Chain A
Amino acid sequence: MRYLPLTPTDRGAMLSRIGVNTIDDLFIDVPEAARLDGPINLPPHQSEMQVERDLFAMAAQNKTASTVPFFCGAGAYKHHVPASVDHIIQRSEFLTSYTPYQPEITQGTLQYLFEFQTQVCELTGMPVANASMYDGSTATGEAVLMAHRITRKKRAVISARLHPHYRGVIDNLSDMGGFDVASPADSVNGVEDLIALIDEDTSSVVVQYPDFFGNIMDYSTIAREVQSRGCLLIVVVPEIISLGLLKRPGDMGADIVTGEGQSLGNGLNFGGPYVGLFAAKEKYLRQMPGRLCGETVDADGKRGFVLTLSTREQHIRRDKATSNICTNSGLCSLAFTAHMTLLGGQGLRHLAALNHARAVHLADKLEGIAGVEVVTPAFFNEFAIRLPAPAEQIVEALAEKSVLGGVPVSRLMPDSDMDDVLLVAATEANTEADLEIYETALRDVLKGVSA
């Protein structure tokens, strides 16, 4: 189709038909102060080559995760993604990974979705998983809504150590749906008394594992106490590789497990797109959001795959659907599946062990610096440290030395009174040399602070 722009005569005819003189008359409802009174202040146009040069020069000022020692986590983790993952996800069998509207014709897509679900079940220790959500935070929001549906209650008790962005999604959904949330006071570690916050209107308790400050807790006892009060326990896993080492949430008795799958197969991607993981107990299968892929046999008895239980979904149940999610992060879930398959169980355990070893090594080094206290007693690949000065300030100073030293808690929890707390992550992508550089840089920076 050719694009034919309007002539001034066309425009004049349309404007006079609707009864205004100029296009600007259509914007009179925008307050004067908010309107531009001239062209935007931009430099004159340049040649393509010049624009490229300018943009490269600007980009070169960035300190990126792949160019400097990098220790930021807080829900997004830099791992090595093998080049083979990229190769696999571009194979024609998987084109396109867009949500299949005539699903059974795309057996390649359905097979990997089925394998994805199987992997999520094995990782989390849960009997059923769906074919992915948008990301960990929206998966967690959906889990809370699902608990409300199952229990016909409308209040969630949320650990104060759930990632603040995840909490933000739950808050949004709760505001819109007329639901309530409750949380204990902020704390870096120790036991939170979530059970005391349960009332007769409470559907669920949401905990993170490892939590926002890196703590690892066994939630088995909490699971029993939550369930004995008629509520569901939702366990949230933002760093899925941790489950290569840790006890699985399903083995603790979790009712719903959500997670972020970015760590497997996916880069940091500036914060998204990511891939949400969602698994539940089998008795809650029909209340799950999103798509489920099932294994079956065709008329000749051959193995095949179908999308199943779609009668829960929006195109059939309309406003009674379990969720308004209409698609998933298909390409990201494919990359997750490819990476997990390449690793295998043993590979994942090795990868997890390597992450943990690096983080422990880093914690040991940092704790040796005067004024630094590691405040997470047991962790996987991320922990919190307390600094003798505001963490934001230290992180800036470290960046001056080309070290991206972590995420200040105050950036994500500005009201928390934890200005001196820094979240530090180390993965297999950090070399021994990176750890040395970090230790030296932090020592130097802190000398400057105390002087």
Chain B
Amino acid sequence: MHRFDYYTPSTVAEAVDLLRSKGAGGKIFAGGTDLMPAMKERGRHPKYVVSLKNITDLKGISFDAASGLRLKAGTKMSAIHQNATVQQHYPVIVQGAKLIGSLQTQNLATIGGNVCNAAPSADAVPALVVLDATATVQGPGGTRSLPITEVFKGPGQVSLAADELMTEIQVPAPLPRSAGYYLRHVPRKELDIAIAGVGVYVQLDEAKQTFTHARICLCAVAPTPLRATGAEAALLGQPATADTIAKAATAAAADARPISDQRGSADFRRLLVNALTVKTLTAALDMIRAGR
């Protein structure tokens, strides 16, 4: 690794001020699980590193039945998937967090880091997208909130300015009669990167017969995590049947914009999106009808 200056601010304001005053060429160090390999092997050489480890205000999980879940951006994946409240109210978030790297990775990696690393294959992101999460970022001019989907610009590219820091992710309270599910396809059992992934979040009417809310997010089949709006439209107001799900899966495959690379062809990825959409929607329906 090349040399870098190392700063450990103790507040968000101090971190933002460092990023502003030190200027270009800095990098925020959250869990380090993406940054360290990039600095060691992929030619990433920041002039300075701003560590978040001493900023206690960036860690923590809170839940309110009316306003929903708040995940501080520096909260580690293991803290999220081991949290009883998240397990109870947002199992789809747990599913994604448990898939990131190894257990060792999950003990370092943070939710804000997974979002801001902006990998199209990021496993923790589809759950946030389908749950309509918003992110709060703080910069020299103050704080602002944006829908999580607007964070992503392309592989590794986010809409945050260089002197802005993501501080928190808010997830709305779960809807009644709703459930989410995330699945990815990997050739191995563990420690792999999704060839394609699908996250869903759906709500049924009181009779549990009709889709009244639908969100689908596709993973690793576009430059960013991608809302499958065609597939969502194919569900909304339609009967919760295998036939409707099959139509939505066909639409999701059409919504995908995959490339061919060493991990899979574009055609294969579309087939995976179709199959994973059927599996995730079916599983979510089962959860709703079982009363979770």
Q: Report if A and B associate in a common complex.
A: no
Chain A interface (Cβ < 8 Å from any Cβ of B): none
